[in-house]
Amino acid sequence: MHSPPSRWAPHYLPPGLPSHTISLPPSTRSVGVARRFSERLLSEWGLAELAADTTLLLSELVTNAIVHVPMTAGDVRLVLTRSADLLVAQVTDAGGLLPRCAEAGPDSENGRGMWLVEQIATQWGHHACDEGKTVWFTLRIPAGTPGA
């Protein structure tokens, strides 16, 4: 077991920050849509150097939302927000199962997604919301980046 997620929550972000939202159907194709959405938006924001880590972590969170929530539960919502020093990614689904960072066996093909989030993200966590739950992570925007 790894350290618990941060208690900081992105819903405390001040209003008016650059933010974009996309609604994704509960389909495996949505993982690719989320990746392309984030790559395009990060490029527009001048944060292309964060694209590889962001798309990897979003792939894990969107996949979890699709795999662990019944298809009849509705769409998955992805929100990317940029503050002066952080990129904040939030994935909301109707499921109640909270993520955990567990040890995967050496031959296991699954079970490493939240471990990757924990290793790469600056912070991560989850909170209940009206729709179900939101799982989020942050990445630090490199110093010297315009707007940082």
Average pLDDT over residues 37-60: 96
Provide, rounded to the nearest whole percent, the portion of the chain with pLDDT above 70: 77
* pTM passes above 0.95: no
Look at residues 30, 72, 65, 35 and name the one whose alpha carbon lies nearest to residue 50.
Answer: 35
Look at residues 103, 76, 78, 89 and name the one whose alpha carbon lies nearest to residue 10.
Answer: 89
Chain length of the chain: 148
Is 137 within 8 Å of 124 (Cβ atoms)? yes
Residue 2 above 90 pLDDT?
no
